[in-house]
Amino acid sequence: MKLALDPTMYADLSLKEMVDKTASLGYDYIELSPREDFIPFYKYPKVDKDQIKNLKRYCRDAGVQISSILPVHNWAGPDEDRRQAAVRNWKRAIEIAVELDVDLMNSEFSGTKYNPVVCEEKFIRSMDELIPIFEKEGVKLNLQAHPYDFIETHEGTMDMIRALDRDWINLVYSTAHTFYYDNGLGDIAPMFDSAGSRLQHVLFADTFNHMASDGLRYIVNPPAVEATVHQHLNIGEGEVDFDTIFQKLKEMNFDGIATNAVFAWKDKADWSSKLMLQKMKDGLGLSEKIGG
């Protein structure tokens, strides 16, 4: 199993500082999420051969590996020009993964839940263009539903993964999205059972149930505004049933990627990152106390 850090809380550091920080916190793997000087959200990658060479050297020197690369682009957005731009961005991101010797990428469905049929059509069109490139380059893909995406539920995600029908396209389960995945029930076990061997990657963070208190746990103004909320908190700070998550992962003999995806505590990021590594190790039965 690979225990990885999503270094979003360290995005202000240089690439070298980010890699060194990851190693100093006790992580062996980095999930390379969007950052402005590498592969930004929604925009064309900003990296050249020298930066790629340097990043490989930084990782080698620090004893850290890249477990996966996480691009997020509007490949399912309803606007066709932006969809085409997103596909161009993806093609370059795949090239970068290959140059980094990384054979796994993970991403979100994107698009918008307010136009799901058109977004699904755009997503399939994008995948028609990209699947041959993934297969040619030997790069695998893990997908997650995300709040506000045209697919927000676990069932919808599994349906789409089956529809794509490639053994190298599998599931990311983000624990911070649990209450979107099952419409506020928080019933973990059936989702993990239905995922089965398709579950290859778990993003760990806690959250509160946005549907509790008759949907009034969060109040947004004006009512019915197009806003989608959740948190990425330390395990134990929200309402996700992590006892069941860890139990199911042990029953499944999960051997994929477990990523710390907490973003809430940038002001005390080192404390949060160390705490989360220990909580993941304890919950997964990999406990080995880490230093201060």
Euclidean distance between the first and the last CA atom of the chain, given in angstroms as a whole number: 23
What mean pLDDT, rounded, does the chain reach? 95
139 contact partners, CB below 8 Å, separation of at least 6: 94, 97, 98, 102, 103, 104, 105
Enumerate domains of the chain plus CATH numbers.
2-284 (3.20.20.150)
Amino acid at 159: D
**Distance separating alpha carbons of residues 190 and 257, to the nearest angstrom:** 21
Give 200-240 pLDDT, tens digit per residue: 999 999 999 888 888 878 888 887 788 888 999 999 999 99
Beta carbons of 89 and 73 less than 8 angstroms apart: yes
The per-residue pLDDT for range 111-141, each reduced to its tens digit, is 999 999 999 999 999 999 999 999 999 999 9
| pTM for this model (two decimals) | 0.94
Q: What torsion, rounded to 10 degrees, do the Cα atoms 91, 96, 97, 99 define?
A: 130
24-46 pLDDT tens trace: 999 999 999 999 999 999 999 99
